[in-house]
Amino acid sequence: MAIAKAERLMNLALCLLGTRRPLSKRELRESIEAYLEAGSDDSFNRMFERDKDDLRELGLVIETVENLDGDVGYLARRDSNRLPPITLDAEEAAALGLAAKVWQQARLAGAASGALQKLRAAGLPEDVDPYEAHGALEPRIPVHEAAFEPLMLACRDRRPVVFDYRKATAARPEQRHVEPWALECWRGHWYLAGWDRDRGAERVFRLSRITGKVRSRSGRFTAEIPDVVTVRETVASWAGENADRSALIRLRTDAGYPLRAKATAVRELGDGWDELEIPYGHGLDAWLVEFGPDVVVLEPAELRADVVDRLRAVAKG
């Protein structure tokens, strides 16, 4: 079975690399003997989708093209799958080795090791060991979210995705249709930046709030991808870190320590309450709701109204 699958993958890769135009599933099925032997259309479709994903995992860039009639075709352009000559000095090789070590605790460890092997084959000097250089440094980026890997692959392959997402203030998750741009780790949490098709705007999603499986969708992106996707800056802005305004809140004396850490001024009111002045930026209302009855918004009025609306939405379920 292993030999049959390897041969099938090789034949599919050769078909996709050898064509000058996108090939439909029907054309691929007629060209590859193993697909002709599939018992049914459903069996072929499952086999083809698995093979296509396996080739992408191996690094083959497969494009999905939809023609004017809505038919979907596939091809792998040679210029997108050709590795140019590589020359690395010792410092550059050391940087790649550190990058590979970052993923040793994640499911990408094998991919990182395989990438270094490909660099060896492309001309990385044999006397340079990227794993040993600067060995005292042991960087780690933990990845616990099941959504990370499918989203990382979707970002790489420019594939739209669908997933269920539960906002911090929502009782139930909502389905989101997203064109994923980039992933970034910020303060110990992974975030996805992309285009939310339902809302017609750029959005940032925290991976720990994605429930269920991430499902890929065919078709092209509908929104233009920014030249620089500033995930960290966007998250910071929604967290109020780039705020140019201030909000005034009341906070119970023994509660809300994260809010106290951000406060620019704190005044004791007595009776178990303090008054805090904190930066006011996008997303502050969602953050304040998490503290429930321990927080009362005093100013500005629009922030108070937003917090009240969110609390009412949570109460309704």
Q: Which of 210, 239, 268 is the last residue of a domain?
A: 239
Instruction: Provide the pLDDT for residue 134.
Output: 47
Same domain, 178 and 229: yes
Residue 61 in domain:
yes
Same domain, 294 and 230: no
Same domain, 251 and 214: no
Instruction: Provide the pLDDT for residue 296.
Output: 94
CB contact burial 271-299 (16+ within 10 A = b; e otherwise): eeebbbbbbbbebbbbbbbebeebbbbee
Residue 9 in domain:
yes
Q: Which of 202, 224, 239 is the last residue of a domain?
A: 239
Same domain, 215 and 282: no
**Category of 158 on φ-ψ map: left (φ > 0), alpha (ψ -120 to 50) or beta:** left
Residue type, 74: Y
Distance (Å, whole) CA 192 – CA 204: 5
Residue 105 in domain:
no
CATH number of the domain bearing residue 66: 1.10.10
> Nearest-5° angle of CA 202, CA 143, CA 291?
65
Q: Which of 205, 220, 239 is the last residue of a domain?
A: 239
Neighbours of 136 (CB within 10 A): 4
* Number of domains composing the chain: 3
Whole-structure pTM value? 0.46
Instruction: Provide the pLDDT for residue 1.
Output: 35
Same domain, 250 and 203: no
Same domain, 2 and 38: yes
Instruction: Provide the pLDDT for residue 276.
Output: 94
Same domain, 276 and 295: yes
Residue 281 in domain:
yes
Cβ neighbourhood burial of 190 (10 Å; 0-12, 13-18, 19+)? buried
Same domain, 229 and 159: yes
CATH number of the domain bearing residue 159: 2.30.30
Residue 121 in domain:
no
Residue 93 in domain:
no
Residue 115 in domain:
no
Same domain, 13 and 74: yes
Q: Which residue has the tokens 């321990």?
A: 294
Instruction: Provide the pLDDT for residue 93.
Output: 65
Same domain, 306 and 222: no
Residue 206 has which token pair?
């925290």
Instruction: Provide the pLDDT for residue 164.
Output: 95
> What range defines the domain where residue 282 resides?
246-316
Same domain, 174 and 215: yes
Mean pLDDT per 10-residue run, the chain (317 residues)? 68 88 89 84 89 87 82 86 68 66 54 57 52 50 76 89 83 90 78 91 88 89 81 63 79 88 90 91 77 91 88 73
Instruction: Provide the pLDDT for residue 298.
Output: 95
Residue 207 in domain:
yes
Same domain, 228 and 264: no
